[in-house]
Structure 1
Amino acid sequence: MKVQIYVAAHKPYQMPQDPTYRPIFVGAAIHGGAPQNYQPDNVGDNISASNPNFNELTAMYWIWKNCHADVKGLNQYRRYLSEAPKRKLAGILSMTEIESLLQQYDVIVPKKRHYYIESNYSHYVHAHHREPLDMMRTVISERHAAYLDDFDQLMHQTSAHMFNMMIMAGPKFDDYAKWVFDILFAVCDRIDIADYDVQEARVFGYLSEFLLDVWINHNQLKYVEVPVMYMEKQQLPAKAYNLLKRKFFPQAAKRTHF
């Protein structure tokens, strides 16, 4: 069985030595090539040039269209799915662990992120422009109406599997990616982001973080959560402060990513 987990990165960074993991350089069409031993996302069928708007999804698209492994997955250079997060790269999921989990579950996902005082919807609109999220609901209602109740339920919940990180069998990964991009490309055609700043222009990456749970729940897939290993220190007090600031002082300057 071929297991290939890609690690999305936009710059050179410490990477796993395990050949199960391969770095993929996102936005290669813009940055002018990839570091040595990184898979560039601008070869074959790709959307590399759209990286400023799609973030790590240019890697997901490339994996969907160009990787033919039996098991596919996506991690990020600063975050990994891990069984032993304190061990850093030594604790990320091994091929044996991945194969064992997928014998029991359909999808491996990170532990949910909880917002507690915010629904997923209110958290998003306090941090980002409201229009794209509302438009995504409209697109789902028109193109994938069977998923609409699942989407609405998720919007009212206070937690979700975030980060666009997942591991699953290749055919399932491809089915998921096909569904995701059908929705996001339709949203892209209907909204104008010309005036968005650099952070807000990454809108399709933000929107997509809600779609994994919608797809899993609707298709009644069995998933397993594993911890997220962070390569860098988490600024938890600053994140908590800014969450409260966005909620109670929505007109104040926003900071959403650290």
Structure 2
Amino acid sequence: MKKGTSPALEVIVATHKMYVMPDDSLYQPLLVGSDFFLNQQKGVTLPKNLILDNTGAHISSKNHNYSELTGLYWLWQNTVKKDTNPDSFYGLVHYRRFLSAKNKKTPLTKTELQNLINLKYEIILPKKRNYYIENLYSHYAHTLHIGPLARTREIIKEKYPNFLPEFDRLKTRRSAHMFNIFIFKKPLFEEYCEFLFGILFALESSLTKEELTRYDGFHARFFGRISELLLDVFLYTKFPDLDKRSDVLELQVLELEPVNWIEKISNFLLAKFFGKKYKKSC
């Protein structure tokens, strides 16, 4: 995946299992948690275009905590850092969630992305998810375990104080760009990864072994869940006028698997009013 002088357009599709991928050169399928997958699926034949996140510079073994972020880290370290063209664009989507052009029911194509770039868009995000009766912080506290997020604030206060005011706005904001889905121009992509992994690695170092292993499979992925909130902390600190900028575009999220809204709403109400933490994604 060595890059030449021409701008690259590449979006990795993070997946933890075999899945049908879009037939478009924009997308690079990447198996996250490859160490675990290959240990469980010995002898499996992998698609030729599937990259493993346990090659090159990687944190594949942390996938049970970091979720799709092991794929983001792989892209940053092994592709983006080797690309010398500042006009390249890189992004992250998931096997079951993609960005989609307006009024389309298919994943964004390379041609569509190039057209958006020609219109001078440099920051492409999913439409915000709204939390009408909760703020972002209280929603996290009701549905997940708050300890690691509270520790994250301490780290930001100490190491990234300029970002603290925006982090504290998690307690008033009721919407956010979620899912760890985005496409950025290369310089911003690198700056965000430096910020994100700087915080997450500091968080990991601050936790004891007992704290890192106390949660079950779903709740163990708290690094990935915290990162969803850190995206807007980063963007709104860097661009206070983010919502008004002409180079920012929000696209709809295309869900390739059905969303069980009855179960989702029921789980939220149980979490908010009865203290029942989420048990799985739905």
TM-score (norm 2): 0.86
Cα displacement (A) at 1:178: 1.0
1:153 counterpart residue number: 169
Q: Report the CA distance shift for 1:29/1:85 in structure 2 as closer, same or farther (over 3 A).
A: farther
Quote the Cα distance in structure 2 between the aligned partners of 1:169 and 1:218: 18
Aligned residue identity for 1:79: R
Quote the Cα distance in structure 2 between the aligned partners of 1:155 and 1:105: 30
Runs of 4+ off more than 6 Å: none
Quote the Cα distance in structure 1 between the aligned partners of 2:236 and 2:203: 22
Cα displacement (A) at 1:187: 0.8
Higher mean C-alpha displacement, 139-148 vs 104-113: 104-113
Cα displacement (A) at 1:38: 0.6
Q: Which segments of 5 or more consecutive residues in structure 2 lack a partner in the other structure? A: 1-6, 40-44
Quote the Cα distance in structure 2 between the aligned partners of 1:150 and 1:121: 12
Highest CA radius of gyration, 1 or 2?
A: 2
Answer whether contact 1:242 1:256 (CA < 8 A) is retained. no
1:241 counterpart residue number: 266
Aligned residue identity for 2:108: L
Secondary structure, counterpart of 2:98 in structure 1: strand
2:92 counterpart residue number: 74
Aligned residue identity for 1:16: P
Q: Please, what is the CA RMSD of the aligned residues?
A: 1.7
Higher mean C-alpha displacement, 122-131 vs 96-105: 96-105
Decide which of 22, 32, 36 is 1:30's aligned counterpart: 36
Answer whether contact 2:180 2:228 (CA < 8 A) is retained. yes
Cα displacement (A) at 1:100: 3.1
Decide which of 145, 149, 169 is 1:129's aligned counterpart: 145
Answer whether contact 2:13 2:94 (CA < 8 A) is retained. yes
Quote the Cα distance in structure 1 between the aligned partners of 2:280 and 2:125: 22
Cα displacement (A) at 1:253: 5.7
1:97 counterpart residue number: 112
How many equivalent pairs are there? 254
Quote the Cα distance in structure 1 between the aligned partners of 2:189 and 2:24: 21
Secondary structure, counterpart of 1:51 in structure 2: helix
Of all paired residues, the percent bearing the same amino acid is: 40
1:17 counterpart residue number: 23
Cα displacement (A) at 1:74: 0.4
Aligned residue identity for 1:67: T
Decide which of 198, 201, 206 is 2:225's aligned counterpart: 206
1:166 counterpart residue number: 182
Deviation string for 1:146-195 (max 9, x for gaps)?
01101111332111111000001122111111110000011111122221
1:50 counterpart residue number: 62
Q: Which segments of 5 or more consecutive residues in structure 1 lack a partner in the other structure? A: none
TM-score (norm 1): 0.93
1:193 counterpart residue number: 212
Aligned residue identity for 1:130: I
Quote the Cα distance in structure 2 between the aligned partners of 1:81 and 1:155: 27
Quote the Cα distance in structure 1 between the aligned partners of 2:186 and 2:56: 18
Secondary structure, counterpart of 1:29 in structure 2: helix
